[in-house]
Homo-oligomer: A and B are copies of this chain.
Amino acid sequence: MTRVRISDVAAAAGVSTSTVSLVLNDRTSRISGETRERVREAAAAVGYTPNSIARGLRTQRTRTIGLVSDVIATTPFAGRMLAGAQDAAREHGHLLILVNTGADPAVEQEAIRALVDHQVDAMIYATMWHQVVETPEGLPDRTVFLDCRPADGTHPAVVPDEVAGGLAAVRELVGAGHERIAFVDIAEPNPPVASGLRHQAYLEVLAEAGITPDPAWHVHGEETTAASGRVAAERLLDLPPHRRPTAIFCFNDRMAAGAYVAVHHRGLDVPGDVSIVGYDDQQLVAGELDPPLTTVALPHYEMGRWATEVALGAREPPATPDQTYRMPCPIVRRDSVSSPPAAAANSSRRRA
């Protein structure tokens, strides 16, 4: 059983293929109503849908969009990014072609070439952790960077607004009355872009609250794991009582989970003795901790959507020089923040 072609519709309706094409594409300026009707009925009767390949060859538009990413497997966020891109693509009548390069530059080059050969209408270049990247060779003009931005600012890009997210997170702690607030960061070498930005936000909020940060409050884990977070948090809890933080802002939720372990291990309570805020709103972590973690969500789904819509021309990138949109990161309030313990609050007030 072979595919139904436009000539089959033409034969069934007793007209030429030109007429069928004009009718079905609504270029009906010079086709009579009666003929239109007949063509539509014939098309429905034989179950005709146009062959996208043939159409693409003629029109030079394939209604596909290519998405190149470094790793789709190893992060739980990738799915949301893909889902956003995919939903937006579908809403605009496009299909999403996905290539996962495994961060291998040779594979990446090959992938870009293959997608260009397939005449994708637009391209998205995505990484799974916010970073600044060199622009690969061969990308079409209609390329948007997703969760990364090109060093040379040649293409539109969307990344999380880490600073605004960090501000919201730390203000949440200041707003609850904390004054001794620590930041569990991620160590050198090659800290993620987000590390510097979130730290910057941390310092900014302390400054606006008139708090002089104790350098001992800025600790580092080796990796972004719970185990590393625990080790780093323990260094905070080892501080003498009057310097020990009553609140901890953690680089991410996994490290926050480690901080929980450290706190509980001392027989202390979250949030009664130590309030904790994370970052990422990572499923299966933030929500399942006890108590559930207050954190800042990374808007992966929305970023995926934004990138796709800009790539398809359905939305304008920001008119700034770097064409980079910083997507807001909403704070997710759960139960890991409360006011500081009375003794600490007193000691703070004494110091103030």
Residues of A within 8 A of B (CB): 49-54, 56-57, 62, 64, 72-76, 78-80, 82-83, 86-87, 90, 95-100, 102, 107, 111, 113-119, 226, 254, 257, 261, 282-285, 288, 290, 301
Contact = CB atoms under 8 A, between A and B. Distances in A.
19 contacts: A49-B116, A52-B114, A52-B119, A53-B56, A54-B57, A64-B97, A72-B79, A73-B82, A74-B79, A82-B100, A86-B98, A86-B100, A87-B100, A95-B115, A95-B118, A96-B97, A96-B98, A97-B97, A257-B288
Contact of A283 (B52, B76, B261): B76
Contacts of A57: 53-54, 57
Per assembly, the copies of the chain total 2
Contact of A117 (B51, B107, B226, B254): B51
B82 A52 contact: no
Given A54-B57, A119-B53, A114 B98 contact: no
Given A76-B79, A97-B95, A52 B118 contact: yes
A148 B59 CA distance: 38
Given A51-B117, A53-B53, A57-B57, A83 B100 contact: yes
A99 B95 contact: yes
A99 B63 CA distance: 14
B284 A76 contact: yes
A3 to B, nearest CB: 8
Contacts of A62: 53
A97 B67 CA distance: 10
